């Protein structure tokens, strides 16, 4: 699992759940029900002070865990990937936070193994 802070494009359902993700030039579809939770952030390391009434988004991160498959025609042969995404409350921007699934292992050629 790796930690990241990379911008991603996310389109949501009417209920606000991620439906599709645009990441590194590939369009992905959310395959399972996404899971949402909140994590405390160390805002004092990033902000000089907390303006009165700015609690939402300042103290907690809204995090969504999504399982994705590429939308392209080769989606049947692809393995799903699981990402944690953060939505910034003020701007509505999305960022990639964690990647949970490693790339599928490739077969090792006999001369590579030696």
The tens-digit pLDDT sequence of the chain (114 residues) is: 555 678 999 999 999 999 999 998 999 999 999 999 988 776 666 666 666 655 555 567 889 999 999 997 655 557 889 999 999 877 789 999 999 865 454 445 555 555
The residue extents of the domains of the chain are: 2-102
- Which position has the token pair 């590579």? 112
Query: For the stretch 48-70, what's the b/e string if a residue is b when 16 or more beta carbons lie within 10 angstroms of its beta carbon?
Result: eeeeeeeeeeeeebbbbbbbbbb
pTM of the model: 0.71
């Amino acid at each position: 699992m790796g930690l990241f802070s990379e911008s991603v494009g996310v389109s949501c359902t009417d209920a606000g759940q991620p439906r599709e993700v645009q990441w590194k030039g590939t369009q992905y579809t959310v395959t399972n029900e996404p899971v949402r939770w909140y994590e405390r952030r160390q805002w004092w390391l990033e902000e000089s002070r907390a303006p009165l009434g700015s609690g939402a988004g300042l103290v907690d991160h809204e995090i969504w865990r999504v399982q994705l498959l590429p939308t392209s025609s080769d989606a049947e042969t692809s393995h799903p990937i699981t990402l944690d995404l953060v939505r910034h409350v003020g701007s509505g921007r999305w960022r990639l936070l964690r990647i949970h699934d490693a790339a599928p292992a490739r077969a090792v050629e006999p001369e590579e193994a030696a």
